Structure 1
């Protein structure tokens, strides 16, 4: 069977089973991100966020009190005054300090460990003792004394009259509040938003701005909104207000019921296809996020641009097209950024890809970059229990488009995660084989159900119901290669590129 025919059949079959909304994207690229890169020459313009009067890219920079910090994404940073820092490995106590423990917390401008000390008042640190608690700026033994308000906080002997009132008041407060919530990561007790500390149960921090929290409150860039608001729409990190009901964000563009037909008041003529505010002939042109391009310039979209995947000087990184003509050496994608220099590392998960400056004794855990003396990582989940002999993940997952054309020379397959079970240190995965790819001989795997065993902690996390690209090694073991794939655009692109490469 010719590969070209198989590729066409694959798309036809997949689209036939897709919903009506999925069918509409069978021949379009996936939505682009609104972040630009540091390196390389970028083709086209992309939306940037603003820090004061200066634009910046939240994938590789942070904004704190109107000041931009380069090299640290706002997606993983907190602010210490006007400087951004990584709260996983650092702590802000009036100044940025290296975190010595996951249990480190600020007491004024000093750091203390919540496991060994108490912070009373604003800046008084005491050795933690059994049955001792704070009363204002000092500690007291709760078995022999109490903390009274007369009108200031004072330590009194238990036979004092005020002690019974203080005890009743404390019990009433505890019964109303209940037990304090268990925190998986102690760092949550030290949350900062800009230059302010806040309680995440009462407030929500949106890029340095505090808002009142509720179960329906969500962030949209620097703004907050509630899911019950029917006149707002969050589109690529930008909050739009006073939009008509039932409006949708598609590819960074807001479509309302009145302008779904090419954003024009008049319906297009029969046979014409919409592309932004104009119509196109899909036989000669391609539509990329509302922008029309001649197919002679390429037949794959990268954000709003079109490109020829055979051009080795062009690289598409999550919807951003880079020209590599003026760059020397190899460059790879890190989300929407271009990772080129050896002193940078890319940490990625299925939700984010973040670029960091490389540091000793640091490793990736999903899209976080952590100090191994403070944290441990298991299946892309951080835990405040460092394990000296733990084996961090030796590789990171990539979007399928970043693996092309490397995959054209390998035998790989698309497998859907049906169920997962944990046994000792192994994660056993049952896969439903969706499609096998082999440019030499293309056949279905005889048994569509495949049982795969992975080292649990050192392997990236997988989600039930998601389809990934897998590779079988020579020793009969399987390796997870990609982030979850799109069963229409991603697989179609892999077949198209590999077939044309073979030709």
Structure 2
């Protein structure tokens, strides 16, 4: 999200939405506003929790909703009158604080809500049924309070608690689980809905998967659908510089004596283990960098925190048992399942969550410089028996050991679809070849020119 690392106002306090959340003028630390919702003045993770009348409760199912101050399961119970829970029965609905059989009775809405036999004159006509449904429930859906925020959708301000911004289009939030799919919206707990490469598909069969923009359905996995400077001068910002003696970092010229790599607008020496560059932010460590890891532009503490990242966001969470990453979301395995960075509202027994996450290319230095890795472009994708079949075109190899050379530029790679990070057609990634001729995906998509050139330059310097 644009501006996610910039400071925003929450009352009279400044905060970063990539690290904290703002709810009614109160800052909640350690929970990014990119993935939270508000419960009164406290932020919470709506994937695993629910807010009922100002109380944060732990979900026991993705289909939980609030009934007054408590939760109820929408697939087995009804909530009537704002706090009365009844076991769900076929053809039954709410009338105020009680339920009734819609085949034999109706809910009369005179001065009070009363259950009457269907032949009573007060019974609504068929055309009135939809308009009276909410009134018969006896209560309106519980809504959380809005956030104090200054976010914009394009150039239009919007309230991220009540609205959601999808490709510069503002939509009303149906619930805290409302997410974007391109310019459209959907709810994570919806069944038979699949967001595939920014296109929302409805009424798809269960267990369908999106692979390379194509929807597949097991077990047969069949496709369902298919400024120039003056001559001789080099520019750095608004001034010229000598590239033999200086390095240009985001328009700022630095003497090469101070380092040979850019980190944002600063320059640093990558041989110095006490310096760590995290997505353009330079950190001066007080201990060896092996004890820390980048999570976006932040430093991750291994013992107490978990980094969940996708190609768009990297978010730090407090580590919890039975929780895993699904892209940049942190989910409870008893509520959700994750397949190729897509959350589904049905937990899968004995599923294998991803054991590793992709990283930005420069975060893989220096350990990848000592391995046989290569850059591969995804030319084609298919799904067969939960195996993702990938046709790779090798566009560059870092053969540090000089032991292996990939002679055939076309490789056929097989990954376990659900437990592997998502891949996209036409994108280039860093891959590692194992001794058994299997391959491991390592990096987020990389730029063919600048990223790969920098990776080569740094690794060959380390070889020297």
Task: Find the counterpart in structure 2 of residue 397 from structure 1.
Answer: 358
Does residue 286 of structure 2 align to residue 325 of structure 1?
yes
* Matches of 2:234 and 2:300, distance apart in 1: 37
Counterpart secondary structure, 1:497:
helix
Task: Find the counterpart in structure 1 of residue 460 from structure 2.
Answer: 499
Please report how far the alpha carbon of residue 205 of structure 1 lies from its aligned counterpart in structure 2 after TM superposition.
9.9
Does residue 107 of structure 2 align to residue 155 of structure 1?
no
Task: Find the counterpart in structure 1 of residue 381 from structure 2.
Answer: 420
Task: Find the counterpart in structure 1 of residue 371 from structure 2.
Answer: 410
1:371 aligned residue (332, 341, 345): 332
Q: CA 1:341/1:217 → structure 2, altered by over 3 Å: closer, same or farther? A: same
Task: Find the counterpart in structure 2 of residue 111 from structure 1.
Answer: 71
Task: Find the counterpart in structure 2 of residue 343 from structure 1.
Answer: 304
Task: Find the counterpart in structure 1 of residue 146 from structure 2.
Answer: 194
Please report how far the alpha carbon of residue 120 of structure 1 lies from its aligned counterpart in structure 2 after TM superposition.
2.0
Moved more, 436-445 or 456-465: 436-445
Q: Which runs of 5+ in 2 are unaligned?
A: 134-140, 149-155, 172-226
Contact 1:146 1:167 (8 Å CA) reproduced: no
Structure-1-length-normalised TM-score = 0.71
1:358 aligned residue (302, 319, 322): 319
Moved more, 304-313 or 433-442: 433-442
Please report how far the alpha carbon of residue 493 of structure 1 lies from its aligned counterpart in structure 2 after TM superposition.
1.3
Equivalence map 1:28-427=2 (5 Å): 35=5, 47-93=6-52, 94-163=54-123, 165-170=124-129, 192=144, 194=146, 208=160, 210=162, 216-218=168-170, 274-276=235-237, 278-325=239-286, 330-427=291-388
* Matches of 2:143 and 2:384, distance apart in 1: 36
Which one has the bigger helix percentage? 1
Q: CA 1:374/1:466 → structure 2, altered by over 3 Å: closer, same or farther? A: same
Contact 1:436 1:442 (8 Å CA) reproduced: no
User: Cα RMSD (Å) of the superposition?
Assistant: 3.0
Please report how far the alpha carbon of residue 289 of structure 1 lies from its aligned counterpart in structure 2 after TM superposition.
2.6
Contact 2:340 2:417 (8 Å CA) reproduced: yes
* Matches of 1:362 and 1:210, distance apart in 2: 27
Contact 1:135 1:153 (8 Å CA) reproduced: yes
Task: Find the counterpart in structure 2 of residue 231 from structure 1.
Answer: none
CA offset digits 1:113-145 (Å, max 9, x no partner): 101111123222222111001223322110001
2:440 aligned residue (479, 488, 494): 479
Task: Find the counterpart in structure 1 of residue 449 from structure 2.
Answer: 488
CA offset digits 1:236-267 (Å, max 9, x no partner): xxxxxxxxxxxxxxxxxxxxxxxx99xxxxxx
Q: CA 1:456/1:191 → structure 2, altered by over 3 Å: closer, same or farther? A: farther
Structure-2-length-normalised TM-score = 0.77
2:392 aligned residue (431, 440, 461): 431
Please report how far the alpha carbon of residue 279 of structure 1 lies from its aligned counterpart in structure 2 after TM superposition.
4.6
Moved more, 209-218 or 57-66: 209-218
Q: Which runs of 5+ in 1 are unaligned?
A: 1-30, 36-46, 175-188, 197-203, 220-259, 262-267
Contact 1:145 1:155 (8 Å CA) reproduced: yes
CA offset digits 1:377-429 (Å, max 9, x no partner): 11111111112311111111111111011111111111111111111121111
Counterpart secondary structure, 1:88:
coil
- Higher RCO, Cα 8 Å, sep 6+: 1
* Matches of 1:329 and 1:69, distance apart in 2: 29
Moved more, 48-57 or 104-113: 48-57
* Matches of 2:280 and 2:29, distance apart in 1: 22
Contact 2:390 2:412 (8 Å CA) reproduced: yes
Please report how far the alpha carbon of residue 209 of structure 1 lies from its aligned counterpart in structure 2 after TM superposition.
5.1
Which one has the bigger strand percentage? 2
